[in-house]
Amino acid sequence: MTTTTTTHPLPNATIQGFPRIGPDRELKRAVERFWKGGLSEAELIDEVREQRAATRARLVGLGLQASGGAVPESFSLYDQVLDATVAVGAIPARFGDVEGSALHRYFVLARGDAQHQPLEMTKWFDTNYHFSVPEIDEQTAFEANADWYADGVREAKQQGIEARPVIVGPVTYLLLAKASEQAAPGFNPVTRLADLVGAYATLLRELKAAGATWVQLDEPALVSDSLGLDRGEIVALVEAAYRELAAEADRPAIVLSAPYGDVGEHLTRLAILPVEALHADLVRGAVPEPAALAEALGETQFVAGVIDGRNIWRTNLRERFAELEALREAGVVPVVSTSNNLQHLPYDVRRETKLSDQLRSWLAFADQKVEQVVTLARGLTEGAGAIETELADVEAVLRDRDQAPGVHLPETRDRVASVTAESRQRASEKERREAQRALSIPQLATTTIGSFPQTSEIRVARAAFNRGEIDESAYNAFLREEIERVIRLQEEIGLDVLVHGEAERNDMVQYFAEHLEGFAVTEHGWVQSYGSRATRPSILWGDVVRSAPITVGWSSYAQSLTEKPVKGMLTGPVTILAWSFVRDDQPLGQTAEQVALALRDEIRDLGEVGIGIVQVDEPALRELLPLEASRHEAYLQWSVGSFRLATGGAPAGVQIHTHLCYSEFNEIVGAIDGLDADVTSIEAARSRMDVVQPIGDHGYSRGIGPGVYDIHSPRVPGVDEIRDLIEIARERIDAELLWVNPDCGLKTRGYDETVESLKNLVAATKAVRDREQV
Ligand code: GLN
Ligand code: ZN
């Protein structure tokens, strides 16, 4: 609907972005080698060029058109929000003295150096991807620098591809930013929108000069109720920003993209905007009134995100195709696309040769999602008949999946069906407190969150075991020695409640996935978690069965070595789901109940061998909280319900702990309360105990351990520093209820700093106890 651009329309198939970590984690290898000095800057740049070129060629090979902006350019060396920070010149003043090349400065923002704390990282919407949080204040001097994206466009051109840069949009950028240290109290970054939009306008001009015909601006803020503004206000900001951007005379055509959820009633308002294309997530969202949408769109293209970019299941293409045809009948001509950037998916399911042929036939990774998009688009141009084979093929696969052994197990189903309200109800708090006196836990009890450092010896032994170079008994002997060492160390340090250290776990979710039926693990299914880090989520495809105890042997061995209580250590149902690819043929809540029942059996077995304290970690409880407020209640119902089903069978004398990895206590205090855990540990050190105030205000009556040791960096906190934090907590929390612990597990730390820090933690606790004479 603008007069300024004369570019070709988007072809009828595209995607919102593609993974970049590399099919064999090539990006990770290259940047990590560069960080260690094994690769020069020029070599890294060459390597990255090659990877970008390979990605584009791959997408064209999969059927996206080389012309007209169908191929997204969504590569990033570290993080897409950080890329936007650099592209708009929003470098926080505290990095002003960093010298060296642009690339060097980029990585200092991401990772810090001896003098600079890195930008904080936090989770990107409701995903497990972490981005670098922008820091904005009144003085931030936005200044466009399109180099990163412009290089991509030019390289693509040389390859004969018209790539479409994917950039975080200005409204989302500011709503995700935090006020910098320099900002006046109460400063809100979003007040800088007009200035930032000016920088984006320049960016667009520069991209046009570099030859870009299309650009994609991602505004997931449009689907979130968790950003401190109401949705109508966010839409108004987007309207203001995009009218301004659209008015820029010399720019590429714009796709405004709204991934990760439902824009709902605001869709038609957005459709009126003078951008050239509007994308909506039609997996989580819908088009409420297609005819009204068609009218609002006018000439604007509609990018229909009908293929799910969050899961790995083949979708019912016939249903999706019918939705697209319905849109077309109402007058909307859809460009077929994915619900969001495919960065959350692994590359290619065809490489998973160790999965059964049957399971593999049910799955679609990023490559296969592109193929699904291309198929649907072909159907739209050539008619349904042209894709009938593909439509029928998926239907056959879905039928096969529905009837496959293990997908519906009567034992598991019957057990879930017989769950009652009592199954989730423990004894009263008072009864529990009395029964747990037998554990003789001192006031201001000290403990850790579970894992001890994963040393290279542990990783080497695990790899040797996985390759069959050492047998199970040798591996188990190694782990027992490791447990003994960790127990002795904790006794020596003087901690009150000990852990076995989790040396047997590669990952807190995968370990359980490997020991429960209903899960499969992939070989190459890496997904970027942040920067160069990737995880390999398990696939929860069938009904869950615990065929044997999982952790009981390790915990009871640890307990046999010491007089002090040892905490059993489990991962909770919500976190197991959040960090896996979960079956999509039933509600998440139903799957969570199955996992919960398996954990319930594990807790019972732990109790039977004399483990008096069991921690059930739920670090992902907050992450899965839906972006839309209207879905919160249902979510809290099943998430809290599944935790309580897992723990509800524990006798009054067994103390149930939980651990949450963030400090937004306020936001989910209802959920924390609902979990009904006897003790909750929560991150707090980085925010200098900000959580203590809401805990106090809430009158929280159960045990709570706000972290007093920030484990995110190797820095050792001093005794005085930790004592101060404990004192802050003591102002609002009774000594009976207050626990002293680190922010999170210690697995990423080294032993030297860990031992020193924990000794300081114990000494600081002693100082407070002495002062209070408890
Ligand atoms: N028990 C786990 C550990 O200590 C908890 C990790 C987490 O919260 N992410 O490693
Ligand atoms: Zn944690």
Is residue 165 within 6 Å of ligand 1 at its C-beta? Answer: no
Structure tokens at 514: 């490997």
Number of domains, the chain:
2
* Contact of 564 with 496, CB cutoff 8 Å: yes
Q: Are strands 163-168 and 214-218 parallel, antiparallel or unpaired?
A: parallel
Mutation test of ligand 1: which of 502, 566, 615, 711 has the most ligand atoms closer than 8 Å to its C-beta? Answer: 502
pLDDT in tens, 92-101: 999 999 999 9
pLDDT top residue among 1 and 697: 697
Nearest ligand, CA 615: 1
Q: Is residue 382 located within the same domain as residue 439?
A: no
pLDDT in tens, 143-165: 999 999 999 999 999 999 999 99
Is residue 567 within 6 Å of ligand 1 at its C-beta? Answer: no
Q: Is residue 375 located within the same domain as residue 518?
A: no
* Atom in ligand 1 nearest the alpha carbon of residue 619: 8
pLDDT in tens, 276-330: 999 999 999 999 999 999 999 999 999 999 999 999 999 999 999 999 999 999 9
Is residue 454 within 6 Å of ligand 1 at its C-beta? Answer: no
How far away, in angstroms, is 661 Cα from ligand 1 center? 8
How far away, in angstroms, is 661 Cα from ligand 2 center? 4
Residue 687 lies in a domain: yes
How far away, in angstroms, is 451 Cα from ligand 2 center? 10
Whole-prediction pTM: 0.94
Q: What is the pLDDT of residue 214?
A: 98
Percent of the chain surpassing pLDDT 90: 91
Is residue 285 within 6 Å of ligand 1 at its C-beta? Answer: no
CATH number at residue 278: 3.20.20.210
Residue nearest to atom 9 of ligand 1 (CA): 619
* Averaged pLDDT for residues 228-243: 97
Written as one string, the DSSP assignment of 377-399 is HHHHHH-GGGGHHHHHHHHHHHH
Q: Compute the mean pLDDT over every residue in the chain, rounded to the nearest whole number.
A: 96
- For the ranges 556-560, 661-665, 756-760, which has the lowest average pLDDT? 661-665
Q: Is residue 383 located within the same domain as residue 449?
A: no
Q: Is residue 531 located within the same domain as residue 606?
A: yes
Q: What is the pLDDT of residue 688?
A: 83
Alpha-carbon gap, residue 162 to 164, rounded angstroms: 7
- Examine the fold and report which residue of 363, 383, 403 is the final residue of a domain before the chain moves on: 403
Residues in the 5 Å CB sphere of ion ligand 2: 619, 661, 744
Give the range of the structural domain holding residue 503, as residue numbers without chain letter: 433-454+493-773
3-class secondary-structure state, position 294: helix
Is residue 744 within 6 Å of ligand 1 at its C-beta? Answer: yes
Is residue 619 within 6 Å of ligand 1 at its C-beta? Answer: yes
Q: What is the pLDDT of residue 666?
A: 76
Q: Is residue 385 located within the same domain as residue 438?
A: no
* Contact of 69 with 207, CB cutoff 8 Å: no
Residue 482 lies in a domain: no
* Atom in ligand 1 nearest the alpha carbon of residue 451: 4
How far away, in angstroms, is 450 Cα from ligand 1 center? 6
- For the ranges 4-8, 79-83, 179-183, 608-612, which has the lowest average pLDDT? 4-8
Is residue 616 within 6 Å of ligand 1 at its C-beta? Answer: no
pLDDT in tens, 196-229: 999 999 999 999 999 999 999 999 999 999 999 9
Percent of the chain surpassing pLDDT 70: 99
The pLDDT of residue 369 is above 80 = yes
Is residue 566 within 6 Å of ligand 1 at its C-beta? Answer: no
How far away, in angstroms, is 535 Cα from ligand 1 center? 15
Residue 115 lies in a domain: yes
b or e along 656-692 (b: 16 or more beta carbons within 10 Å of the residue's beta carbon)?
bbbbbbbbbbeebbebbebbbbbbbbbbbbbbebebb
The pLDDT of residue 1 is above 80 = no
CA Rg, the chain, in Å?
Answer: 27
The pLDDT of residue 430 is above 70 = yes
pLDDT in tens, 543-553: 999 999 999 99
Structure tokens at 310: 């969050």
Q: Cα dihedral sign for 321, 323, 329, 331?
A: negative
Mutation test of ligand 1: which of 123, 130, 447, 451 has the most ligand atoms closer than 8 Å to its C-beta? Answer: 451
Residue 700 lies in a domain: yes
Is residue 163 within 6 Å of ligand 1 at its C-beta? Answer: no
* Atom in ligand 1 nearest the alpha carbon of residue 745: 4
* Contact of 254 with 197, CB cutoff 8 Å: no
The pLDDT of residue 46 is above 90 = yes
Mutation test of ligand 1: which of 486, 744, 747, 748 has the most ligand atoms closer than 8 Å to its C-beta? Answer: 744
* Atom in ligand 1 nearest the alpha carbon of residue 659: 8
How far away, in angstroms, is 751 Cα from ligand 1 center? 17
3-class secondary-structure state, position 313: strand
Nearest to 195 by CA among 170, 226, 217, 167: 170
Is residue 568 within 6 Å of ligand 1 at its C-beta? Answer: no
Residue 471 lies in a domain: no
Q: Is residue 156 located within the same domain as residue 242?
A: yes
Nearest ligand, CA 570: 1
Alpha-carbon gap, residue 740 to 315, rounded angstroms: 48
* Averaged pLDDT for residues 603-632: 94
Q: Is residue 361 located within the same domain as residue 441?
A: no
Residue nearest to atom 6 of ligand 1 (CA): 745
How far away, in angstroms, is 425 Cα from ligand 1 center? 26
The confidence band for 525, taking pLDDT boundaries of 50, 70 and 90, is: very high
Q: What is the pLDDT of residue 7?
A: 65
Residue 712 lies in a domain: yes
The pLDDT of residue 2 is above 50 = no
Q: Is residue 399 located within the same domain as residue 442?
A: no
Nearest ligand, CA 529: 1
Q: Is residue 437 located within the same domain as residue 360?
A: no
CA dihedral 665, 667, 668, 669 (to 10 degrees): 60
Residue 461 lies in a domain: no
Task: Name the β-bridge partners of 539.
Answer: 520, 581
Q: Is residue 712 located within the same domain as residue 651?
A: yes
Is residue 450 within 6 Å of ligand 1 at its C-beta? Answer: yes
Q: What is the pLDDT of residue 281?
A: 98
Q: What is the pLDDT of residue 120?
A: 87
Residue 17 lies in a domain: no
Q: Is residue 668 located within the same domain as residue 542?
A: yes
Give the active site residues. Answer: 712
State the number of CA atoms in the 13 A half-sphere of 653 facing the CB: 13
Alpha-carbon gap, residue 68 to 239, rounded angstroms: 25
Cβ contacts of 698 within 8 Å, gap of 6 or more: 669, 673
Q: Is residue 524 located within the same domain as residue 376?
A: no
Mutation test of ligand 1: which of 613, 614, 659 has the most ligand atoms closer than 8 Å to its C-beta? Answer: 659
* Atom in ligand 1 nearest the alpha carbon of residue 661: 8
pLDDT in tens, 387-397: 999 999 999 99
